[in-house]
Amino acid sequence: MTHSQWRATIYVNGRFLCHPVTGVQRYAHEMLTALDKLLTARTVEPVLVTILAPPNAQNLPSWTTLRTRKVGRLTGHLWEQLDLPVHARDGLLFTPCGGAPIVHKRNVITIHDAGPFSTPNAYTFAYRNYYKVLERTLARTALHLITDSQFSRQELIRFTKVPENRISTVPLSGEHILRHALSDTVLANYGLSSGQYILAVGSMNPNKNLEGLVKAYQQLPPSDICLAIAGGSNKSIFKNSIRIAGSIRQLGFVSDADLRTLYQYAGCFVFPSLYEGFGIPPLEALTLGTPVIVSRAASLPEIFGEAATYCDPHSPEDIARQICHVLQNKSPDREAAIQYASHFTWEKCARQTWSILLETLRA
């Protein structure tokens, strides 16, 4: 089928292609890659999709059916609000993360959580206020919103007043971690031993509650088990990034290939987040059968059901207690964890998202 035979156009806000891959960028890359496969295999209704990227985007993905094009002269928020709507003016615009241009009249946007509203102190003044204004405006004007969990859906309805019939829930996945092979050298490179470390992954966002995890680790009985924390910080977004010292291993940014091995051989994975719209890292760990401890808070019980062990994120004592419980082999069965995680796939995410986009396009 030639491009001229496609019946309509959907544009994608490709500003995420300028950013390092964290949770929201991961969603954009993986969901669009899965969509590209579906469109290439003709297993979904075909519509022309063009990803519009800023001029400073580097290393654009090589998709088969999805087209990618650099447009405009500006960068950052100015490109998003001024250049992007000009080049998307004749189609539906889908924004998988970040903000959509207010002046564009046909927006579908994924908002992953209501963090700037619910936990404003975790963000800088400029970041939280920009996104509060933007998301409230888009909630009134966008044709449809997508979010990751029923928890986030209810949060966004409460804070932005978006009508219930204009916001849908589409779960994410952790299966991309299987793309990478185990390595014989990764643990040695980080000074770790198989089964002898507790792993945490997350940015230094106060919502991730890494400070609570550090306090919990310090309350564990003396042993050879160490705590390894992977992830970076972004002072332009998050306030009061914590300082981690002592014998705790702060790994910094870790590649996906290294993470595959770090997850696989961890004694357990701990995610004591105070506020979370979904939680990709614990689902990545669960996909590999690693015992997972998550907070009994926000969206996490909804997403992880009986496949995880739960802790009180406000109690370092309880976090420590659950770590001990899991390390004593009292965690959920590994095979059951893998089976549970297998129900979350990027193909499902792409199909559900595509269905929403097509329905919105027809309307």
pLDDT tens by residue, the chain, 363 residues: 444 334 579 999 999 999 988 889 999 999 999 999 999 999 999 999 999 999 999 989 999 999 999 999 999 999 999 999 999 999 999 999 989 999 999 999 999 999 999 999 999 999 999 999 999 999 999 999 999 999 999 999 999 999 999 999 999 999 999 999 999 999 999 999 999 999 999 877 889 999 999 999 999 999 999 999 998 754 443 344 445 544 789 999 899 999 999 999 999 999 999 999 999 999 999 999 999 999 999 999 999 999 999 999 999 999 999 999 999 977 668 899 999 999 999 999 999 999 999 999 998
Q: What angle do CA 311, 235, 73 make, to 5 degrees?
A: 125
Q: What is the pLDDT of residue 1?
A: 40
Task: List 69's β-bridge partners, or say none.
Answer: 52
Q: What is the pLDDT of residue 233?
A: 55
Helix (H, G, I), strand (E, B) or coil at 196: coil
Q: What is the pLDDT of residue 235?
A: 46
Distance between CA atoms of 41 and 260, rounded to whole angstroms? 29
In terms of phi and psi (left: phi > 0; alpha: psi -120 to 50; beta: otherwise), the region of 91 is: beta
Helix (H, G, I), strand (E, B) or coil at 239: coil
For residue 10, which phi and psi values (nearest 5 degrees)?
-115, 130
Q: What is the pLDDT of residue 62?
A: 94
Distance between CA atoms of 37 and 63, rounded to whole angstroms? 8
CB 147, CB 153: distance < 8 Å: yes
Distance between CA atoms of 290 and 259, rounded to whole angstroms? 12
Distance between CA atoms of 134 and 149, rounded to whole angstroms? 21
Q: Which helix (H) or strand (E) holds 356?
A: helix 346-362
E strand spans, 40-189:
48-53, 67-70, 92-95, 107-110, 144-147, 167-169
Q: What is the pLDDT of residue 3?
A: 40
Q: What is the pLDDT of residue 241?
A: 44
Protein fold of 3-173+345-362: Rossmann fold (3.40.50)
**How far lies 286's CA from each of 25, 254, 319, in Å?**
20, 18, 18
When computed from its CA atoms, the radius of gyration of the chain, rounded to whole angstroms, is 21
Q: Give the residue among 3, 95, 17, 22 at the shortest CA–CA distance from 278.
A: 22
> Which class for 134: exposed (0-12), middle (13-18), buried (19 or more C-beta within 10 A)?
buried
Distance between CA atoms of 277 and 21, rounded to whole angstroms? 17
CB 72, CB 55: distance < 8 Å: yes
> Which class for 59: exposed (0-12), middle (13-18), buried (19 or more C-beta within 10 A)?
exposed
- Provide the whole-model pTM: 0.92
Beta-carbon count within 10 A of 60 CB:
13
CB 286, CB 338: distance < 8 Å: yes
Q: What is the pLDDT of residue 2?
A: 41
Distance between CA atoms of 229 and 223, rounded to whole angstroms? 18
Task: List 48's β-bridge partners, or say none.
Answer: 9
Beta-carbon count within 10 A of 253 CB:
12
Protein fold of 175-341: Rossmann fold (3.40.50)
Give start-end residues of each CATH 3.40.50.2000 domain in the chain.
Answer: 3-173+345-362, 175-341
